[in-house]
Amino acid sequence: MVIQVFENEQQVAKAGAAIIAAQILAEPQSVLGLATGSTPIELYKELVKLYDDGVISFAEVTSFNLDEYLGIDRHHDQSYFRFMVDNLFSKINILPDSIHIPDGTAVDPQAECERFEEAIADANYIDLQLLGLGRNGHIGFNEPNSFFQKATHVTDLAEDTITANARFFETDAEVPRQAISMGIGTIMEAGRILLLATGVGKAEAVKAMVEGHIDPLCQASILQIHPDVTILLDQEAASLLN
């Protein structure tokens, strides 16, 4: 694992965007795995700047998002589809047909998971997967468990994930309890992995991911055995590392 520590969140975002931009410049037809959540928002702003400045084009890029809430329509203002449109896709020249996000309203969620997994294989797999890190060590919505789930699947969200997400919904009843998420196998098949974590709230999860045993109770710890992982941290997220 290559671990880089930056003074602040803005520098983490810039460094992350530079890695993604370099990937696209080297391979304009790159397949990118993308994440939602608070962490990558600044990175997406930096990517949009690079696009506006004519440095990179997304015309030939294909994207796959890690996850989507189950039961949330893509037009819902808290859907991950909407997040991606608002923060990135509406501001760059990626083709609509090149965007892949699990459909949280699929009539048969299991078939949707299989379809998503096949689409990734058909695209010849993900070249560079961007990840955030849950406070409980989750990546995608692979929550602490007794095993690592291989493929894209329907998952129950952990209580602390539900609590963390509650701030985005008006009533408790609206907060999603399930999601469709890429599996750990799906993530590990990516050629390169780029994980960002910022803020003191992530410090314990960062320590477990980097210095702990490989343990499904901290799903991100599996990244220790991926051959090409870059972890970008701010000083707060790195504060418990030896």
Q: Please give the positions annotated as active site.
A: 67, 136, 138, 143
Residue 99 contacts residue 89 (beta carbons within 8 Å): yes
Of 90 and 163, which CB lies nearer to ligand F6R in the complex structure? Answer: 163
Q: Does 33 bind ligand F6R (CB under 6 A)?
A: no
CA distance 125 to 105: 24
CA distance 227 to 207: 19
| Shortest spacing between CB 202 and ligand F6R, in angstroms | 7
| Shortest spacing between CB 38 and ligand F6R, in angstroms | 4
CA distance 166 to 158: 12
Of 60 and 169, which CB lies nearer to ligand F6R in the complex structure? Answer: 169
Options 13, 16, 32, 36; binder of ligand F6R; rule CB under 6 A = 36
Helix residue ranges, H only, the chain: 9-26, 41-52, 80-87, 109-122, 159-165, 184-188, 203-211
Q: Does 137 bind ligand F6R (CB under 6 A)?
A: no
Of 117, 121, 150, residue with least CA distance to 219: 150
Options 16, 33, 137, 140; binder of ligand F6R; rule CB under 6 A = 140
CA distance 5 to 236: 9
Options 104, 134, 176, 183; binder of ligand F6R; rule CB under 6 A = 134
Of 27 and 151, which CB lies nearer to ligand F6R in the complex structure? Answer: 151
Q: Does 187 bind ligand F6R (CB under 6 A)?
A: no
Options 17, 66, 194, 233; binder of ligand F6R; rule CB under 6 A = 66
Cβ-proximal residue to ligand F6R, closest one: 132
Q: Does 35 bind ligand F6R (CB under 6 A)?
A: yes
Mapping DSSP to helix (H, G, I), strand (E, B) and coil, where does residue 233 land? strand
CA distance 241 to 233: 11
- List of residues 6+ apart from 120 with CB closer than 8 A: 31, 64, 100, 126, 152, 182, 186, 189
Q: Does 102 bind ligand F6R (CB under 6 A)?
A: no
User: In the complex, which residues of this chain contact ligand F6R (CB under 6 A)?
Assistant: 35-39, 66-67, 132-134, 138-141
